[in-house]
Amino acid sequence: MNIDVPEAYVPQTPESLPGLLGGVAAIRGLLGGTPDMWAVEEVGDGNLNLVFKVRGPSGGIAVKQALPYVRLVGESWPLPLTRAHFEHLALVRQARHAPGLTPAVIHYDADMALIAMELLEPHIIMRHGMIDGVVYPLFAEALSTFAASTLFHTSDLAMAAADKKALVANFAGNTALCGITEDLIFTEPYMIAENNRWTSPQLDGLAASIRADSDLKIAVSRLKVKFMSSTEAMIHGDLHTGSIMVTQTDTRIIDPEFAFVGPMGFDTGAVIANLLLNYFSQIGHEKPPGARDSYRNWVLGSVEEFWNGFCSRFLALWRSEGKGDAYPAALFDDAISGIHLAREQERYMAGLFRDTLGFAAAKMIRRILGLAHNIDLENIADADVRAVAEARSLMMARSLMTGPGNFASIEDVTTAARQWNAIDPFGAKA
Ligand code: SR1
Ligand code: MG
């Protein structure tokens, strides 16, 4: 892949960054003092980018800069800098629909592929808190609000057809990031691929049985074609617990560089997948056994609260702000057709639920058999314990993906999670 790198582009270092940012009045005003007084640290621990914290005498900012390659792998895997453009576009749009739930953008530099944002402190990455067993009482409400509002307001249910098509066009160029998802989530875990890794030898048999499972490969291929062809709404595109920063009282959604106009269930599925993976990982974090039982209950309660909150918020928006060109209000303005529309809305949500479960399953499987793993599982030092958590996750994911219709409600899903968490995966049939 040939990457266009603007002539002015320079990957920043803690030494160079103050000089660059010193030219931006808004940043000088926020940090105070002069650039030589600013303290910079590089704190990025994600797969793709550089992330800096910059502090001055009167305040701080976070700065994210794209690299022309995948940080996790190195320069052998080029990746376009334009992802910063799509991230900026998404951040601005999300802030409009979900105010207070994203970091405020302070400055965007297209040549440097760099976004300066509000410094979120004392927030931490939610995944880290969940590994430590920290409860976040407001998270499910915030996430369901974010998902319902950003997805509804960028869909044909809310938008005029021409505006919606323009939105699709605005994000159509984010092909490299979509390509990562198409390969790493929907394809490679189901075949022998160089990028794949798993806990071996413990999961060798299960990985092989997944590669040989034609029903599963058909199911994931259906999800892939939906991901590639659906233009339901502007989605975040990577809505895992590493893209959420939290305190006990505040929740922010960061990092929408994978944003494009795609299937809504990909976002809702990502949230549920990452909660379920954390749930299954608790066996590796509790001391003594059972010590995290109440935390497990909180995680599954959050799965339910997220999905149920998402549905009620999405439907409420549809009822109050469903002024888009889909389901035109003029067709449903009498009592009888209003009842039919209400039924149709329930059917629509049931379809979205099935998509959500399928995408959740794909996201669980990729984190165990593909390139990029979750530290919820990866941080479990005892490989035998880790393999038990991973095998339970894989087995549940397989049942979700091949039989989403077996789950009538989110409570059916959490009940199934409890059942899978009680099995001996290497004694039972996979
Ligand atoms: C090569 S990038 C691997 C993963 O990191 C991001 O967070 C996305 O989830 C992507 O699939
Ligand atoms: Mg990210």
Share of the chain above pLDDT 90, in %: 97
> For the segment 227-275, what is each residue's pLDDT rounded down to a tens digit?
999 999 999 999 999 999 999 999 999 999 999 999 999 999 999 999 9
Q: What per-residue confidence (pLDDT) applies to 425?
A: 97
pLDDT mean over 312-336: 96
The atom of ligand 1 lying closest to the CA of 47 is 5
* Mean pLDDT for the stretch of residues 268-296: 98
pLDDT of residue 95: 98
Q: What is the pLDDT of residues 115-157, one digit of tens each?
A: 999 999 999 999 999 999 999 999 999 999 999 999 999 999 9
pLDDT above 70 for 299: yes
Strands 74-78 and 69-70: antiparallel
Mean pLDDT of 300-326: 98
**pLDDT value of residue 304:** 99
Distance of CA 220 to the CA centre of its chain: 18
Q: Which atom of ligand 1 is nearest to the CA of 258?
A: 8
Looking at residues 93-119, what average pLDDT do you find?
Answer: 98
Q: Is-contact 47 72, C-beta < 8 A?
A: yes
Residue 3, pLDDT score:
87
Residue 130 identity: M
Directed axis angle between helix 264-281 and helix 383-402, to 10°? 150
In this prediction the pTM is 0.98
pLDDT band at 2 (very low <50, low <70, confident <90, very high): confident
**Separation of 335 CA from ligand 2 center, angstroms?**
46
Which pLDDT value is given to residue 226? Answer: 98
Q: Which residues surround ligand 2, an ion (CB under 5 A)?
A: 46, 255
Ligand 1 binding pocket, CB closer than 6 Å: 47-48, 70, 72, 180-181, 184, 238, 372
Is it the case that residue 428 has pLDDT exceeding 60?
no
CA of 33 to the centre of ligand 2 (A): 32
Residue whose C-alpha is closest to residue 390's, from 360, 415, 366? 366
- Alpha carbon 151 to chain centroid, angstroms: 13
CB distance 425 to 397 below 8 Å: no
pLDDT at 1: 77
Taken in order 360, 389, 131, 304, is the CA torsion positive or negative? positive
Handedness of CA 47, 51, 75, 170 (dihedral sign): positive
Mean of the pLDDT values across residues 86-104? 98
Q: In the predicted model, what is the mean pLDDT of residues 67-96?
A: 96
Cβ–Cβ under 8 Å, residues 27 and 17: no
Cα-to-chain-centroid distance, residue 197: 21
User: Which of 238, 243, 244, 368 has most ligand 1 atoms within 8 Å of CB, for mutation?
Assistant: 238
What pLDDT score was predicted for residue 429? 45
Closest ligand 1 atom to 372 CA = 3
